[in-house]
A and B are shown apart, each in its own frame.
Chain A
Amino acid sequence: MKRTIIPVGPYHPIQEEPEFFQLTVEGERVVDMDVRLSYNHRGIEKLCQDLTYDQIPLLLARICGICSASHPMAFCQALEDLTGVEVPLRARYIRSIICEMERLHSHLLWVGLAGHFIGYNTVFMWAWKYREPILDWFERAFGNRNHYENFCVGGCRRDLPAEEVEPLRRLLDGLVPKVEMLTQAVLDDPVLRVRLRGIGVLSKEDARLWCTTGPTVRGSGLYVDVRANEPYAAYDLVDWKVVTQEEGDVMAKAVVRLLECFESAKIIRQCLDRMEPGPIRTEVRDMPKGEGIGHAEAPRGETFHYVCSNGTNYPDRYKVRAPTYVNLPSFKSQVIGAELADAMLIVAAMDPCYSCTERVAVVERRRGGVRRLEQEELLRMSWAKTDRIRRQV
């Protein structure tokens, strides 16, 4: 059969971020793929070498607009690993609350987008509506809808205001039944079951070989979650469990994310109950020479940071590895053999975040390509498949 090369990108037609996929198809079936990244260089690792340790978390929060707490979290842990500073108990609870609120809003964002991709625009509207109060709460409590991270080495910069605790409890009371309703709707929908089951399967062995992390790997049944493997913040002080699924397909990844929302709500409630007044920051008195490693579980997977200190106030080398950087290459093992109408859904199921991954240089792709897919066409193909299944079911 004749092979056709389909370029998707360098600006993602659905997720509206820069990356480039080259899919080789026979008819409607994908037989090979290649991916190119790094269209949008920001040079953050190089910049970090010229910033003091106090300034770096502010810059790292700007790596990503969605998981803006995870990168500073991993940074602070790398520095705490290096200096041996103990974080006060109250700060550990605040860190957990912020990270879990972030997971909630990130997963809801993803549910909405995924719904949009397969033609369920009601899901899109609902999920994003439920997400909104979380951002509003962040703004009231920490001053910003997106940059609420407020972490510093040795603790937190700002305390959780006492008057925002009750609104947070009320917010969760309102949010959890709605997410329950959404989860039930997804699990019970016969069309969704046919549409999402069995596509984009990532086997256990492939998940290991491609070193994937986060919901992508937990959907394949591997117990990889930094919060449980190497507990940080307050995760060893509260009761929760790691959500895994065995199937490894798009449905499994969606279920992992939806069920994680309930675990997050559980963690936040326990943190609020157990928190006691106290100091929120330990001062770092001196910066030894040496190396530190910190990792944190972002909504999309493990964020891994490495720092090498030369004893001055500036790091000698700072390395950031975002979760999408390891999840995206595994797209190759998931997409080969899939239908073209599913390809972009499979990428979406990994919840890729290009702004995290793209920290390094500008690349230009030479013009060319046989068939070009625009946003409308990709969406139309995906929606048409859902419609076809809906008629059959």
Chain B
Amino acid sequence: MADREEVIARVERRLSGLCERFRRRNERRVYVDVPPEHSLEANRALFDEFRARLATASGRDTRDRVEVLYHYCFDEVGIVVTLRTWGLKPEPTVDSVAQFCPGANFVEREIHDLLGVVFRNHPDPRRLILSDDWPSGVFPLRKDYPVRGGEKERARLVARLIGAGEKP
């Protein structure tokens, strides 16, 4: 079995020219910030060269930009390497990972629907989550998306979902 430290050192060496920051949060978690121009090469390196498993990707709205985080699991040594890249608003654009990893197809379509990230060279950029008649340019998971009803309405919705509390 390969050694955990050795694997992390190898990943760090491979990504050193590509990343802005390589941060080890704790024993099993590594976060790498890769600027968008290098994200395709860095993703390819992790998926094809290190043969890591792409667990999923998460999108996150940080107000002036939208981050896309690709989470890679190195199953033999039990670590998760998170590759963070980003696109600037108003039209954040990131190179698609789905062009060489079909497993990323769904999640990139999801991030496009909910956060409005455009994935360059995505093989199948149809909508996945939102319905066909949803207005274009409205992204429900962005921070500026208005949530209807306010505090009270949300509390009631949560109570209904977890089957407790006040009746509507």
Contacts and interface: CB of A to CB of B under 8 A. Distances in A.
A50 B142 CA distance: 14
A230 interface: yes
A363 B130 contact: yes
A317 interface: yes
4 shortest A-B CB distances, which residue pairs? A211-B103, A230-B78, A321-B56, A319-B58
Contacts of B161: 42, 47, 59, 62
Interface string B46-63: 000001011110101100
B28 interface: yes
Interface of B: 25-26, 28-29, 31, 51, 53-56, 58, 60-61, 69, 71, 73, 75-76, 78-80, 82, 101-107, 110, 113-114, 127-134, 140-141, 147, 154, 157-158, 161-163
Contact of A209 (B61, B101, B110): B101
Given A230-B78, A293-B82, A329-B103, A304 B110 contact: no
B106 A329 contact: yes
A325 interface: yes
B162 A329 contact: no
Contacts of B141: 45-46
A319 B60 CA distance: 9
Interface string A8-48: 00000000000000000000000000001110011101110
B132 A366 contact: yes
A210 B75 contact: no
Contact of B132 (A55, A292, A326, A363): A363
Nearest to B100: A209
Nearest to A292: B29
Contacts of A38: 128-130
B56 A304 contact: yes
B131 A209 contact: no
A229 B76 contact: yes
A361 B75 contact: no
A361 B31 contact: no
A321 B55 contact: yes
A54 to B, nearest CB: 12
B131 A47 contact: no
Given A46-B147, A81-B26, A224-B53, A317 B130 contact: no
B14 to A, nearest CB: 19
A334 interface: no
Contacts of B131: 361-364
B130 A211 contact: no
B53 A208 contact: yes
A58 interface: yes
Contacts of B80: 293, 295
Contacts of B71: 293, 304, 306
Nearest to B130: A361
11 contacts: A45-B141, A46-B141, A46-B147, A47-B154, A208-B53, A295-B55, A304-B55, A321-B55, A326-B103, A360-B114, A361-B130
Nearest to B72: A211
A317 B58 contact: yes
Given A47-B161, A210-B103, A291-B25, A361 B51 contact: no
A46 B148 CA distance: 12
Interface in A343-365: 360-364
